[in-house]
Amino acid sequence: MTNMSHDLAAAEKASAKVWVPLLAKYRDPSLARSLFEVMVTGVAFVALWVLAWLALSVSYPLALGLAMFNGMFLVRLFLIQHDCGHQAFFKSRAVNDWLGRALGVLTLTPYDVWRRNHSIHHAHAGNLDRRGIGDVVTLTVAEYQERSFMGRLKYRLYRSPLVMFVLGPTYLFMVEYRLPVGLMNAGWRYWLSAMGTNIVLAALLFGVYLAGGLAPIFLIFLPTTIVAATIGVWLFFVQHQFEETYWGREVDWQMHDAALLGSSHYKLPQPLRWMTANIGVHHVHHLYSRIPFYRLSEILHDYPVLAEAQVLTLRESLNCARLHLWDEGSKRLLSFRDARMLRA
């Protein structure tokens, strides 16, 4: 066994909390770098929107292709918004929040609602007794077997690729995010966030309609948004839904262990790593969420043990779509078929 393997084994045996003070030195953002990341992503997004609009007069398929490609830059804008929600992108809380709110209009994501629900996700990820907000609904094998026929059918439909990665993302961003779901009774702030985002978005779309009719809405806005939503949901899914992820009951659950062991290192090739703003380094992000995304690669360079932890390649990630049920006995995420065989 190599020294790196020994280090990894030792790190897994120790509490992941030991990483917190080591990672704290990477938390300070660079103003110049943050401004550059916003500018280069925003300029590319707007430029592709303009090119797609101009292409409408030449070729609808060309405009559609440009719009779909622009979905990648909308994902990147969402991930900048994500860092703002963690107060990681700028030192000023106000700058983080207002940039996050502005980007939330483009990403169709009410910033304050999403930030609150996402903080719940970080606080309870991997806790079987605190499921339900900001996560992918996951049943244990026992819970699934105790459901009625209709209950099992509903869960199978929910976890099917068609719903999870095709219909679900569109519903989530187009419909569910229009209300402060999960925070309906939590106060006016979240209603203001949702309704304010809706009003500004509606005004922008009305302006697009006045300038170009329905074509830019159906051939640019919708394709860009749907592609971005689908990619975003897939990324979130594989960050926690892999075979040897971490789930535990409240009595045994430990937040930092869940962060390290229950989050994947989605090792994407370039340029996908750049386009997804290093969100694949998710285990480090969950260990210390105040670190700007552009500093995560420094950590992997300085701590090779983290670079080798929870690695999930692009090819391996495709297998995650067939995993649906958590087995508390073997501590693995299983397919419906594997769970059936286990029961037999």
The set of residues, in sequence order, having a beta carbon less than 8 Å from that of 191 and lying 6+ positions away, is 180
The ranges assigned to domains in the chain are 3-318
The confidence score (pLDDT) of residue 34 equals 98
177-190: buried (b, 16+ CB within 10 Å) or exposed (e) per residue?
Answer: bebbbbbeeeeeeb
Compute the average pLDDT of residues 259-278.
96
What is the spatial distance between Cα 339 and Cα 324, in angstroms, rounded to a whole number?
Answer: 9
Q: How far apart are the first and last CA of the chain?
A: 37
Q: Residue 12: pLDDT above 70?
A: no
Residue 6 has pLDDT above 70, yes or no: no
- Nearest residue to 24 (alpha-carbon basis) of 338, 308, 291, 324: 291
**pLDDT tens-digit profile of 26-60?**
999 999 999 999 999 999 999 999 999 999 999 99
CB atoms within 10 A of CB 239: 27
Q: Please say if the pLDDT value at position 64 is more than 50.
A: yes
> What pLDDT score was predicted for residue 304?
94
Residue 324 predicted with pLDDT over 70: yes
- Going by C-alpha positions, the residue among 97, 80, 94 that lies closest to residue 294 is 80
3-class SS letters over the chain: CCHHHHHHHHHHHCCHHHHHHHHHHHCCCCHHHHHHHHHHHHHHHHHHHHHHHHHCCCCHHHHHHHHHHHHHHHHHHHHHHHHHHCCCCCCCHHHHHHHHHHHHHHHCCCHHHHHHHHHHHHHHCCECCCCCCCCCCCEEHHHHHHCCHHHHHHHHHHHCHHHHHHHHHHHHHHCHHHCCCCCCCCCHHHHHHHHHHHHHHHHHHHHHHHHHCCHHHHHHHHHHHHHHHHHHHHHHHHHHCCCCCCCECCCCCCHHHHHHHCCCEEECCCCHHHHCCCCCEHHHHHHCCCCCHHHHHHHHHHCHHHHCCCEEEHHHHHHHHHCCEEECCCCEEECHHHHHHHHC
Q: What pLDDT score does 341 carry?
A: 86
Percent of the chain clearing pLDDT 70 (strictly above) = 96
On the question of pLDDT at 258 being above 70, the answer is yes
Mean pLDDT, range 164-168, rounded to an integer: 95
How confident is the model over 95-151, as pLDDT tens digits? 999 999 999 999 999 999 999 999 999 999 999 999 988 889 999 999 999 999 999
Adjacency order of strands within the sheet including 325-327: 139-140, 325-327, 332-334
Residues 104 and 111: beta-carbon distance below 8 Å: yes
pLDDT band, residue 240 (cuts 50/70/90): very high
pLDDT of res. 14:
54
Average pLDDT of the residues of the chain: 94
So what's the pLDDT on residue 1? Answer: 35
Has residue 5 got a pLDDT over 50? Answer: no
Radius of gyration of the chain (CA): 21
Residue range 13-33, pLDDT digits in tens: 457 889 999 999 999 999 999
Query: Percent of the chain beyond pLDDT 90?
Result: 91
Helix axes 60-85, 222-240, angle to 10 degrees: 50
Stretch 61-81: mean pLDDT: 98
pLDDT over 70 (residue 7): no
pLDDT given at position 182: 86
The pLDDT of residue 109:
97
User: Cis (ω within 30 of 0) for the bond into 271?
Assistant: yes
Check: pTM over 0.85? Answer yes or no: yes
pLDDT value of residue 284: 97
pLDDT at 229: 98
